Structure 1
Amino acid sequence: MWRPYVISNDIEYVVLYLYMSISSNAPNLLLSLSQSLADTVERVEGAVVSVNVGRRFSPSGIHWRNGIIVTSDESLHNSEEVTVTLNGGKTVPVKLLGRDASTDVAVFQIDSPDIPVANIGDAATLKVGHLVLGMALSREGNIKAVMGNISVCSGAWKSMSGGNIDQFICPDITLYPGFAGGPLVDANGDVVGMNTSGRRATALTIPSKTVNRVVDQLVVKGRIARGYLGVGMQPVRLPQNLQTALNITGDGGVIVVNIENNAPAEQAGILLGDILITFNDARVKDTNDVLAYLNQSQYVNQTISVQLVRGGELVNLTVTIGERPF
């Protein structure tokens, strides 16, 4: 009897396992699985587009919301004139609304009311072993799909460009040319994220929650708001006797080596030589901790508490986080 929790990392072995496990019923089950996958592709294919960037292999895109196309920012390179090809081959113009390299999301506006909109699902429902589809559209308007399973699914992570990604999702699918920017589709036919290339050409998926957050900001502002203090910083170690005297846990901190005129840090009273050790009661051990905090757009224009060491004493201040100038 088929045990559905036994799933191989290689999708060919999944099909082989199904076939060998249920003997006489295998043809019917395989036919049912095959038809279900084809039906899923048909439900989603109208929302998949090809993003034409003047290169041999164009990325795909997703009609994420009504009039909003999402694709892979990295795959666009420096293309200035972009059009999209719809399922069936029709090519239409689009307008760039914004790009965010840190999350690899680019957003375009399209004026084609008849295009189906993707049904966006929740990537948090994914589990290791779940079957998924990666989809793409060729420049000629022909749909393409690959099947695989979720090989890694874990918590939030930060991209090399500093973007906050809500889940680490690695589907065991091959990202053939043109598949970057296309959707990852779960067994319900819901788009749970946008596929992109990771290290060594492995497939990664930007989860729907992250894409939604980026789309919200790019549609309104055309950019992602980043926090700004206006200071130059360097990591520093606190001597043991100072840790003991001030009852500080951990030896890390960030020393202020430069302050911009009229910046949020100056307005808050931060001085050269101050050593920042907490942001809103969160321990700061090096500059990456500070940048990670500032990269969270929800803190822009918010007033937070900071604790620092000044002249061997603890000082508590409040600072209003500014928005990083562009």
Structure 2
Amino acid sequence: MDISMLSAFSNQMADAVERVAKSLVMVNGRARQPATGIAYADDIVLTADHVLERENNLTVQTHDDRVLGAQIIGRDASTDLAVLRVQGLGVPLATAAAGARAGQLALAVGRPSPDGVMASLGVVSKVGSSLRIGRSSAILERYIQTDAIPYPGFSGGALVDVTGAVFGLLTTGLVRGAAMVIPMDIALKVASALTKQGYVKRGYLGIVSQQVRLPPAQRSDAQEYGLLIVRVEENSPAERGGLLIGDILLAVEGQPINDADDLMAVLHGDRVGKPVAVRVSRGGIAQTLTVVVGQKS
């Protein structure tokens, strides 16, 4: 590569880091390593939930070395996201990038110490379609993996493109031993819920089920399996909606249910309190019931 091209590329990477750096704060929420947060709205910071080991005496440090008090607005351990309010924050707000694609250049950027930002260069290794998170029942509908090194304190930091726009939030708290990136559009959706109500709504039916293969006559290109209901919780949405032990759950609102992940994905918070069409096979005969989605506690 021509030295002038290499120099221009190097400067572009440095410019991208500098651009996002002003939107990143150091978060002091635990006794050991500080973490990072992303300023995405006026006086509002998005960070990783697992880095907040205390509820009080939280502070952030900005790019211009101001130390400000922070309060937790809401937090969601399932997605490892938390929202902080920082009065008088007054920093440039991060810009969300268009959806990431595998192979794109990416920079992992964090502010893990008072010394300033750190960065590492890599690529978007993978954009995954869904991820069951830890032992919780939550499903992350999309996630990003990168080979850019997330140094200690990078949780809550940003994976950015070559312009400094944010692909997503870095965290090591979702999957043990692995760094993941929560796409910014998903992170902001969770942040919106946390800002409004302090928690994230998640729907449930109140059943215990196991995956079974459907009879040939009920299979299709989109569906080979269903969920056999083996238990219906008392006074649950499922019981009130008429679901029975032995029913095979086929679809919810027209979306095929091949496994438990499909069911959890379709029971998102927007459906809590609303009736949904639940298609089941009962005694080999398909029928549709109406169930009002409950809120998972």
Which of 296, 303, 307 is the equivalent residue of 2:275? 303
Gaps of 5+ in 2: none
Matched residue, 1:15: none
Aligned 8 A contact 1:162 1:292 in 2: no
Matched residue, 2:227: 253
Change (3 A) 1:284 1:37: closer
Change (3 A) 1:29 1:290: closer
* TM-fit CA distance, 1:57: 0.8
Aligned 8 A contact 1:166 1:207 in 2: no
Q: Does residue 188 of the first structure (1) align with residue 158 of the second (2)? A: no
* TM-fit CA distance, 1:285: 4.0
Identify the range of structure 1 (284-293 vs 109-118) with the bigger mean alpha-carbon deviation.
Answer: 284-293
Change (3 A) 1:287 1:176: closer
Whose strand fraction is larger, Structure 1's or Structure 2's? 2
Distance in 2, matches of 1:203 and 1:269, equals 43
Distance in 1, matches of 2:211 and 2:149, equals 44
Matched residue, 1:89: 65
* TM-fit CA distance, 1:234: 2.7
Distance in 2, matches of 1:315 and 1:93, equals 56
The TM-score with structure 1 as length reference comes to: 0.79
Change (3 A) 1:45 1:268: same
Distance in 2, matches of 1:319 and 1:302, equals 8
Gaps of 5+ in 1: 1-20
Matched residue, 1:293: 266
1:93-144 CA distance string (max 9 Å, x none): 111111222222111111124222112222x1x3333222211113325222
1:136-168 CA distance string (max 9 Å, x none): 113325222222222223444443344443433
Change (3 A) 1:64 1:317: same
Distance in 1, matches of 2:211 and 2:125, equals 39
Matched residue, 1:321: 293
Change (3 A) 1:237 1:65: same
Q: Percent identity between the aligned chains?
A: 32
Distance in 1, matches of 2:225 and 2:145, equals 36
3-state SS of paired residue (1:188):
coil
Matched residue, 1:213: 189
Aligned 8 A contact 2:61 2:114 in 1: yes
Distance in 2, matches of 1:288 and 1:29, equals 47
Distance in 1, matches of 2:131 and 2:37, equals 23
Change (3 A) 1:93 1:119: same
Equivalent residue pairs, number: 290
Distance in 1, matches of 2:176 and 2:232, equals 39
Change (3 A) 1:273 1:54: same
Aligned 8 A contact 1:254 1:284 in 2: no
Rg larger for: 1
**For residues 138-149 of structure 1, what are the structure 2 equivalents within 5 Å?**
138-140=112-114, 142-149=116-123
Distance in 1, matches of 2:132 and 2:232, equals 26
Q: Does residue 265 of the first structure (1) align with residue 241 of the second (2)? A: no
Matched residue, 1:127: 101
* TM-fit CA distance, 1:64: 1.5
Distance in 1, matches of 2:103 and 2:19, equals 23
The TM-score with structure 2 as length reference comes to: 0.86
Distance in 2, matches of 1:43 and 1:283, equals 44
3-state SS of paired residue (1:209):
helix
Q: Which amino acid aligns with 1:102?
A: S
3-state SS of paired residue (1:138):
strand
Distance in 2, matches of 1:272 and 1:151, equals 43
Whose helix fraction is larger, Structure 1's or Structure 2's? 1
Distance in 2, matches of 1:186 and 1:232, equals 43
Matched residue, 2:151: 176
Change (3 A) 1:64 1:162: farther
Q: Which amino acid aligns with 2:30?
A: G
Q: Which amino acid aligns with 2:276?
A: I
Change (3 A) 1:114 1:79: same
Aligned 8 A contact 2:78 2:133 in 1: yes
Give the aligned CA root-mean-square deviation in angstroms: 2.5
Matched residue, 2:110: 136
Q: Does residue 281 of the first structure (1) align with residue 254 of the second (2)? A: yes
* TM-fit CA distance, 1:42: 2.2
